[in-house]
Homo-oligomer: A and B are copies of this chain.
Amino acid sequence: MGYRVAVATSEAAARPPRRTPRQGERLRDPERTRARILAAAKEQFAAHGFAATRLSDIAEQAEVNKQLISYYFGGKEGLYTEVIAATLRTNASMTGHDLPLEEVVAAFVVGSAADPAASRLLMWENLTDNGQDSAEGKAQREFMREQVEYVRSRQRNGELAGDIDPAHLLLMLISAASAPHTFSRIARAIFGAEAASAEFATTYAEQLRRIVRHLSPVND
């Protein structure tokens, strides 16, 4: 409460185009610093989790004075909240609907490979789960309900065998899709270092696609 908020000016073109500062030259730009802090924070939190992350590290990575974190976000907690909120937001926005189930799943795999920090962040958040649903719990519940409904519609569509429950399947698929990043240690134990690579994501996506395909009602 009471910290600066750096409103992203409604019309982006209104203010004079802010040139990127040249080397050595020091320039003030709240939006830029805010963005840098957020970016660095996302990485750090994703890498180490909330508790193990040091604000000084974030500041250093963002090339910003550490006090500015309090200035803009009111402290570690506030920064974290904002990072999580942003991640959830972008995550929810990229639900490519109206595709066959297998393609949605595959897209999810590739998507999370493109931004591994996001998966990890959500995983930390999940583990930190204290059992009671928070403010955005409702939103998440709503979101999940939609997803379940989507799977169910696909089932009615004849894409999914009748003995599989959409809700359970959804949980499995979400978990399985993010496995290369959330179970990185195990993934590495199985596949070696390449498990983190981009190519791996595509072959993994393909495998998941095949599995989903096997779930179609052949001899239902």
List the interface of chain A (C-beta within 8 A of B). 48-52, 120, 123-129, 131, 133, 137, 140-141, 143-145, 148, 161, 163-165, 167-176, 178-180, 182-191, 196, 203-204, 207-208, 210-211, 214-215, 218-219
Copies held by the complex: 2
Query: Are B190 and A179 touching (Cβ within 8 A)?
Result: no
| Binding site secondary structure of chain A | helix
Query: Are B144 and A171 touching (Cβ within 8 A)?
Result: no
Q: Which chain B residue lies CB-closest to A200?
A: B168
Query: Are B186 and A179 touching (Cβ within 8 A)?
Result: no
Q: In the assembled complex, which residues on chain B have CB atoms less than 8 Å from the CB atom of A215? A: 211, 214
Question: Which of B165, B180, B183 contacts A207 (CB under 8 A)?
Answer: B165
- Say yes or no: A184-B137 contact (C-beta < 8 A), given A51-B52, A172-B211: no
What is the distance, in angstroms, from A206's C-beta to the closest C-beta of chain B?
Answer: 9
Q: Which chain B residue lies CB-closest to A166?
A: B190
Q: In the assembled complex, which residues on chain B have CB atoms less than 8 Å from the CB atom of A128? A: 48-49, 52
- Say yes or no: A126-B211 contact (C-beta < 8 A), given A175-B175, A175-B176, A176-B175: no
**What are 11 of the A-B contact pairs (CB < 8 Å)?**
A51-B51, A123-B182, A131-B196, A145-B190, A168-B203, A172-B176, A174-B179, A174-B186, A175-B176, A175-B178, A218-B219
